[in-house]
Amino acid sequence: MSKVEKDKVVSLDYTLTLDNGDVIDSSEGREPLQYLHGHGTLIPGLEKELEGMEVGEEKHVDVSPADGYGERTDAEDVVLSVSDFPPDLTPTPGMGVYLEAPNGEVKPFFIKAVVGDKVLLNENHPLAGETLHFDVKIKAVRDATEEELEHGHVHAH
């Protein structure tokens, strides 16, 4: 039986909850999540815990902020106008965007809120500082294709 290891395409069902029990994300009612193992697609703490699991195996995984989306920092909010975004993009809370600083450095930001024509962004991922609780079940494991390995992600078949 195939195990979860580097260069395998893994399909898994999952439910993500926070300390307060709120379900943040789940594959329930959808297709299983597919990812290329060992290529940094998932947060490090989850990917490490999936290593070596077999099809049909279930597991509960707790991921600390350090192995998830990082600790929350005191980064200041950035305020932009909706018109600063491309016309085909509707800014929504939680969305990640890349902004270029005056010195040319490009950094990821996350939209915290949209109020009127103002968009409030911050460097902290919405789940920064949170301990993440995953319930996972491995549904399938297969060898990645050469193209998937070359591109570093799963291609639909």
Residues of the chain with CATH 3.10.50.40: 8-69+128-151
pLDDT at position 157 is: 58
For 19, residues 6+ apart whose C-beta sits below 8 A from its C-beta are 130, 131, 133
Parallel, antiparallel or unpaired: strands 106-115 and 96-100: antiparallel
Parallel, antiparallel or unpaired: strands 132-143 and 8-17: antiparallel
> Tokens representing 94?
């939680």
pLDDT at position 102 is: 84
8-69+128-151 has which fold? Answer: Chitinase A; domain 3 (3.10.50)
Residues of the chain with CATH 2.40.10.330: 78-122
pLDDT at position 156 is: 72
Q: Which CATH architecture has domain 78-122?
A: Beta Barrel (2.40)
What letter does residue 153 receive in the DSSP assignment? S
pLDDT at position 151 is: 86
pLDDT at position 152 is: 85
Each residue's pLDDT expressed in tens, for the chain with a length of 157 residues? 689 999 999 999 999 999 999 999 999 999 999 999 999 889 999 999 999 999 999 999 999 999 999 999 998 999 999 999 999 999 999 899 998 888 999 989 999 999 999 999 999 999 999 999 999 999 999 999 999 998 888 887 5
pLDDT at position 92 is: 93
The pTM for the full model equals 0.82
pLDDT at position 2 is: 85
| Residue whose tokens read 């600063």 | 84
pLDDT at position 1 is: 63
